[in-house]
Chain A
Amino acid sequence: MSQYFDLSRRGFLKSSATVGALVFGTYLAGGAPRVIAGVLAKPSESAKRANLFVALRPDGIVEITCHRSEMGQQIRTAIAQIVADEMEAAWDQVVVIQGKGDPKYGDQNTDGSRSIRYNMQRLREMGASVRYLMREAAAKRWNVSIDSCSAEQHKVTHSSGKSLSYADLVSDALNLTPPDADKVPLKKRSEWRYINTAMEHIDLKDIVTGKATFAADVLEPKALIAVVVRPPVVGGKAKSFDATAAKAIAGVVDVIEIPAPTGAPQFQPKGGVAIIAKNTWAAIKGRRALTVSWDDGKNGDYNSEAFKKDLLATVASPQSSVRKIGDAENILAKASNKLVADYYAPHLAQAPMEPPCATAMYHKDRVDVWAATQNPQADMATVAAMVGMDKEQINVHVTMLGGGFGRKSKPDFSAEAAYLSMKTGKAIRVQWTREDDIQNSFYHAVSAQHIEASLDKNGAIEAYLHRTAFSPIASTFIEGATAPLGFELRLGFTDNPINTPNMKLESGEAPAKTRVGWMRSVSNIFHAFAVQSFIAEAAHKAGRDQKDYLLDTIGPDRILDVTEQNAEYDNYGADKATYPLDISRLRQVIEKVADMSNWGRKLPKGRGLGIAAHRSFLTYVATVVEVEVSESGELDIIKSWVSIDAGTVVNTDTVKNQVQGGSIYGITAAISKGITFDEGRVQQSNFHDYRVPRMSDSPLDVEVEIIPSNAPPAGVGEPATPVYAPALCNAIFAACGKRIRQLPIGDQLKA
């Protein structure tokens, strides 16, 4: 008997509750699939493949494959929504099968906010193709024309009124040749029944009952637990270690060295020493008892204070041109009404709630891996290199991810598990602790920027110079790289929306003395912070309202093609005719969010509103933040409003949840001390000194409106993040007159 229920009263409770505020017993309302299948559910042996993403069971149940990783964006639901809609599958006849790592799916790197953008069209076609086959099968059976047969909700109906269920048609349909993709009629938007709705996500019930399977919840195979001590400095290695005390701990079964990598870090493990034990606690205790002496290598001198000075010095002098129109330098040299500002932001760690974790089982001819990975094909390649096999021999099962944020697209943890399994011949689960995660990440880059602008007599920006310098992600792949890869600049720097006749954008070089990698929205974070803060600073200097000035500064409705200004720009890999940088859409989200927040209203003393807008991942977002700053400098974020135009969206509730969460993730940049280094070592270790937003740091209401759009789908997971810190800092300025140019905010409001 449950300890929390009075079972004898339950009948009464249910019936009386239906008249109350909350309707009980409606778990499946909104239609979770009838056949609940967890992330590790295997395809049924009786199911036959209709195409890459759809398989049909004899009883009519449809298996839809999700080949992207689930990390809270509800991609498993979205993929099913798209396929089932076009297929006219009944929602309660659908199960989702999580695809393993396999190049046959094409790209599986769940990163860059592109799962829907890359896949929506082909998923629609695959669904529609099966619907077509069902109609054709029925037409053949009845000996009528296919045009007289329509398919709806798992049933084909003839114009005469007779009908057959999909279950009756499965074997006939599977014997037909699928039509070419371009011959398949897709639904009109007005006919969509799942796409563009807020339907409940398929894993919700598993999550609220504790049944969702994350990486550490994999029970088969039964694994030994490994906890690894890694070199504290990137590029360092173990000189020697003493495992005597560790081995004396009950439950510890082995101590194994993992070799340090050579060359660029890539996704290789850092090396170190693994304690292998029968349970997690013994492994943790064993690690505490282990003594290792380290050879730090060439990054042992990394010090964040010194590095910050170097970065600021770099942006103080001319650097390589990234984009140029007019003659900004000359005008600025002579200008009298000038605004000059330097911005700085530290390293950050993604810190997903679930620390990295993977289980591996080494066999002679293959390795099986179960991992919380965003990028299973990268696991295949990295594990293969680690154990000396071909990547086709690596079987990667993707579990639910307890958040990813970019950390889990780098599968060093899977390679550790595979290596240790190879060495022991046993199934091994590598469990990272929070300390491991904070101290061994691929960090969001530390950055400095310098901006100067001259304002004309109306306060408009007549010339604009902006320099950026940061430790580039390039260094993770190219040993010693100091210049950013093109994509790092195209995230919010090259595509600056300021409308001015004279603009010069420059990029400097900086070494990376740790592993650098992407974190939710990547370099958009610091670039949008600088640009959107600077525009608000210029508004103040010009004596204008922030929002009006922002609109005037980005200029009139137009398509901005920055490649016409001596710039390289790949537009997130998307065709610029399909996904132009459309200033009218940026203006629209600004106007919308101003409406939502009742911009311009009178506020009590100590309160302020701030606004910021930014296009990233082909999506337009504007955010308004309301804050209160007390006399003593205490910050309280009251509320936020966000307007987003992501083109066509699949699940409206998921989009809102992602935008709310992406906003709150953006608070990290403002309040966290960040990750700092001394003597090459990370100075933070857990949530007590690496601060992430808690409920007490967050607004209790983040109101989101999605701009209805028929434009092609763009990104959703990341674009709400970069606008948040500048909107927040602009609000702080409005509230108390303090301008934050260096993140984190720290004690700056107290001074």
Chain B
Amino acid sequence: MIKFTINGKTREFSGDPTTPVLWYLRDELQLTGPKFGCGMAQCGACTVHIDGVAQRSCVLPVSAVSGSRITTIEGLSEDGEHPVQQAWVEHKVPQCGYCQCGQMMQAASLLASNPTPSDDEIVQSMSGNICRCGTYPRIHKAIKSASKAMASVQYYVPDTKGEEA
């Protein structure tokens, strides 16, 4: 039995421990925000937070996250109010939208660890996330906006291990 917290709820998993977190989230919990894009940590569509840090859930076996706190886009905020989500709306970033949950989770993780990233730091952090629709210029601008918004208020509570809802 593997135990973890997903979007604030404690969960137990008793299936195949090699199951990637992505498929557990999607197939069993019907949390369909994280997407399947490559299955080999090449595209970032499946990005979720493990203890507050962005990771590729498609290559992460459930057995490796025992005791961790997992957050998907569904748990990033209650109603799309995370500064990153708001910046995504402000800049009308998405086209098809398929990559965007992964992009936002990556961006939120970046800003949690580095609230004022430079242009290059944004590129470095975001280049593992592919957007075939080519929204990169808007993603870059949206991250700068979110960074500004977060700098003015203490909005994001970075990882506090062991928090339970």
Which chain A residues have a beta carbon within 8 Å of chain B's beta carbons? 1-6, 9, 13, 16-17, 20-22, 24, 27, 70-74, 200-201, 203-214, 216-217, 219, 225, 250-251, 279-282, 284-285, 351-355, 400-405, 431, 433-434, 653, 657-658, 660-665, 686-688, 692-696, 698-702
Contact = CB atoms under 8 A, between A and B. Distances in A.
Interface residues of B, number: 86
B53 interface: no
B38 A2 contact: no
Contacts of A698: 134, 136-137
A653 B92 contact: yes
Contacts of A696: 123-124, 127
Contact of B19 (A207, A281, A653): A281
Given A660-B134, A696-B123, A203 B78 contact: no
B157 A6 contact: yes
A16 B74 contact: no
A661 B119 CA distance: 20
Interface string B59-77: 0000000000101111111
A281 B27 contact: yes
Nearest to B126: A695
Contacts of A433: 36, 39
Contacts of B40: 434, 686-688
Interface of B: 7-8, 16, 18-20, 23, 26-28, 30-40, 42-43, 45, 69, 71-83, 85-90, 92, 94-101, 104, 108, 119, 122-124, 126-140, 145-146, 148-149, 152-157, 163, 165
Contacts of A214: 32, 35, 98
Contacts of A13: 153, 155
A22 B138 contact: no
Among B18, B104, B153, the one with the most A-chain Cβ atoms within 10 Å of its Cβ is B153
Residue among B87, B128, B149 with the highest chain A CB neighbour number at 10 A: B149
Contact of B77 (A2, A207, A402, A431): A2
A401 B96 contact: yes
B163 A402 contact: no
A661 B85 contact: no
Nearest to A200: B92
A11 to B, nearest CB: 12
Contacts of A9: 154
Contacts of A216: 26, 32, 35-36
Contacts of A22: 83, 86-87, 90, 145-146, 148-149
A5 B78 CA distance: 9
B16 A251 contact: yes
A353 B137 contact: no
Contacts of A211: 33
Given A209-B79, A692-B130, A3 B135 contact: no
B20 A695 contact: no
A638 B43 CA distance: 23
A686 B42 contact: yes
Contact of A208 (B8, B78, B88, B137): B88
Contact of A702 (B80, B92, B137, B165): B137
B62 to A, nearest CB: 10
B38 A686 contact: yes
A403 B132 contact: yes
B134 A665 contact: yes
A72 B97 contact: yes
Contacts of B135: 657, 660-661
Residue of A71, A204, A210, A696 with most chain B CB atoms under a 10 A cut-off: A210
B81 to A, nearest CB: 7
Contacts of B130: 353, 687, 692, 694
A696 B71 CA distance: 27
B101 A210 contact: yes
B98 A403 contact: yes
Given A5-B157, A694-B127, A354 B35 contact: yes
Contact of B132 (A209, A217, A665): A665
Contact of A354 (B19, B96, B124, B153): B96
Of B69, B76, B94, B124, most A-chain CB atoms within 10 Å: B94
A25 B31 CA distance: 25
Given A20-B149, A209-B73, A210-B74, A700 B119 contact: yes
A657 B148 contact: no
Nearest to A225: B27
Contacts of B80: 27, 205, 208-209
Contacts, number: 245
A4 B74 CA distance: 12
Nearest to A280: B23
Nearest to A433: B39
Contacts of A662: 134
B159 to A, nearest CB: 9
A73 B95 contact: yes
A353 B96 contact: yes
A4 B42 CA distance: 27
Contacts of A352: 96, 98, 132
16 contacts: A5-B78, A13-B153, A21-B149, A24-B149, A27-B89, A210-B31, A219-B32, A353-B131, A354-B35, A402-B35, A657-B92, A662-B134, A695-B136, A695-B139, A696-B127, A698-B137
B86 to A, nearest CB: 6
Contacts of A665: 132-134
A400 B39 CA distance: 21
A405 B97 CA distance: 14
Contacts of B26: 216, 280
Contacts of A694: 127-130, 136
B22 to A, nearest CB: 9
Q: Nearest 9 pairs between A and B by C-beta?
A: A210-B33, A402-B98, A664-B134, A72-B95, A72-B96, A207-B97, A661-B134, A210-B73, A687-B42
B94 A208 contact: yes
B157 A281 contact: no
A200 B134 CA distance: 19
Contacts of B32: 210, 213-214, 216-217, 219
A599 B119 CA distance: 25
A74 B26 CA distance: 26
A147 B29 CA distance: 58
A4 B83 CA distance: 11
A653 B119 CA distance: 24
A70 B126 CA distance: 26
B137 A72 contact: no
Given A204-B94, A279-B23, A701 B137 contact: yes
B145 A3 contact: no
B149 A17 contact: yes
B120 to A, nearest CB: 10
Contacts of B90: 22
A402 B92 contact: no
Contacts of B92: 200-201, 204, 653, 657
A244 B85 CA distance: 48
A355 B36 contact: yes
Contacts of A657: 92, 95, 135, 138
Nearest to B87: A22
B137 A660 contact: yes
Contacts of B74: 209-210
A204 to B, nearest CB: 6
Nearest to B37: A353
Contacts of A206: 97
Contacts of B136: 664, 693-695, 698, 700
Nearest to B38: A434
Nearest to B69: A3
Given A209-B74, A700-B123, A20 B137 contact: no
A217 B29 CA distance: 12
A95 B19 CA distance: 39
Given A5-B157, A17-B152, A694-B130, A660 B27 contact: no
